[in-house]
Amino acid sequence: MYLTAEQLDRLAGSVMPWRRDLVLVLGLCGMRWDELIPLKVMDVDLKKHRIYRSERADGGRRHHT
4-11 mean pLDDT = 96
Do 25 and 50 share a structural domain? Answer: no
pLDDT digits (tens, 9 = 90+) for 16-62: 999 999 999 999 998 888 989 999 999 999 999 999 987 655 555 56
Stated as kind and residue range, the H or E segment containing 54 is strand 50-55
Are the CB atoms for 63 and 55 separated by under 8 Å?
A: yes
Predicted pLDDT of residue 12: 97
Asked if 27 contacts 3 with a C-beta cutoff of 8 angstroms, the reply is: yes
The distance of Cα 22 from the centroid of its chain, to the nearest Å, equals 7
Which domain range does residue 60 map to? Answer: 39-65
Chain center to CA of 54: 13
Q: What is the pLDDT of residue 61?
A: 56
* Number of domains the chain is built from: 2
User: Does residue 44 sit in the same domain as residue 23?
Assistant: no
Say how far apart CA 10 and CA 23 lie, in whole Å: 11
